[in-house]
Structure 1
């Protein structure tokens, strides 16, 4: 009887030891997915992690689906640029597949950028096989593998050229702070593409210049020693733009944190 009581007393401890590994791994798995929130939205999209892609980079067709100017500023070494905004996107991917049977991997800016997921989704729906998304994006990639990235034509990204999150955040202004900084001496630039320019804000003071038109304005602002204020749709285009700004040598520049979406949510006036 004593022996029976002894084993009964040990039962909770034995059970906790048996199930501890299971209980410990479940939250870790959930956390891994939580780091990539769009995986819950695009559940059927095949994913390739950045470590695997790095190992098989030379045997993979890597496609940057962002704009040409974003690609020219920063991209994965060896990647092709086929913008998902291009009407001939699927036609070009199909031609590529006919010529090459290797896996096609799409990527865009980062973990909250939908373009790479949408690219895989479009490809699959159009009968293109062996595709996947690398959803860490270019900014996570250059931090992990600067030796396999190209920045403004340089084949590797020197460590001192990497822009940290802290440095990026130093140039962020809330929508209210952004508006308060506007005066006659600053240049305000809307870098949204034409199909994203709704709603229109700050119309009386803003210059409209999509990504391929920014370079000339940067040079002008540098010559005039002007401060530049940039905004986009939701704050996703500005991180890559900072590399170009630093390259040109403009010192005084700021981005609207969260873009036009945050501006509207703050209740600021719409033109």
Structure 2
């Protein structure tokens, strides 16, 4: 019985590993500088523009304080959308939900293709930022808006 289970494990483990790897964000993106949480915080303190590419519900629930939202998974995502948030000579930091979220790598790649040149790819993303205790915010409806 143990041999049978071991044989099954040997057959299925590579397949599970391949699936997990498919959903892991790349370590690097051409045209962008990959940064960890400590460097992301320095960039934040320097006033670089943080762009949250997670879905709007995640963003509204909680995000890096001062971050702007950009739906990178929209079919309508264009250079014009990014240009509204940042000029091409401004530093932009893209983040999403960590290493299993592909949005920030996709946004970083597109920004490089569109001519931005101060691109920071924050691969560790919001979970590590929050874990470090750095500033976060959530969307709050104005008092005058009925829910």
- TM superposition score normalised by structure 2: 0.68
Matched, 1:128 2:116: yes
CA gap 1:142/1:89 in 2 versus in 1, 3 angstroms: farther
Q: State the distance in 1 between where 2:84 and 2:107 align.
A: 15
Cα distance change on mapping 1:78 and 1:97 into 2, 3 Å? closer
* Partner Cα separation in structure 2 for residue 149 and residue 97 of structure 1: 21
The 1-side partners of 2:41 and 2:65 are apart by 10
Give the gaps of 5 or more residues in structure 1: 1-36, 154-271
Q: CA deviation at 1:96?
A: 3.4
The answer to whether the Cα contact below 8 Å between 1:63 and 1:79 also exists between their aligned partners in 2 is yes
Deviation string, structure 1 residues 59-94 (Cα, Å, up to 9, x no partner): 110000111111001100110001102314421212
| Deviation at residue 108 of structure 1 after TM alignment | 0.4
1:94 is matched with 83
Superposed, 1:192-207 pairs within 5 Å as: none
Aligned Cα root-mean-square deviation (Å): 2.1
Give the SS at the match of 2:86.
Answer: helix
Whether contact under 8 Å (2:48, 2:90) holds in the other structure is yes
Which is bigger in relative contact order (C-alpha 8 A, separation at least 6)? Answer: 2
- The structure where helix makes up a greater share of residues is 1
Deviation at 1:46, TM superposition (A): 1.9
Would the aligned equivalents of 2:94 and 2:104 in 1 still touch at CA under 8 Å?
yes
1:67 aligns with 2:55: yes
Q: TM-score, normalised by structure 1?
A: 0.38
Question: Does 2:48 match 1:46?
Answer: no
**Hey, what does 2:44 align to over in structure 1?**
57
Kept in 1, the 8 Å contact 2:89–2:116? The answer is no
Task: Tell me the CA shift for residue 151 of structure 1.
Answer: 4.1
Please give the alpha-carbon distance, in whole angstroms, between the structure 1 residues aligned to 2:119 and 2:109: 9
Residue 85 of structure 1, aligned match among 58, 73, 76: 73
Long gaps (5+) in structure 2: 1-23, 141-147
Question: How many correspondences in the alignment?
Answer: 114
How is 1:145-184 mapped onto 2 (pairs within 5 angstroms)? 145=133, 147-151=134-138, 153=140
Assess, with a 3 A threshold, how the Cα gap between structure 1 residues 149 and 122 changes in structure 2: closer, same or farther. same
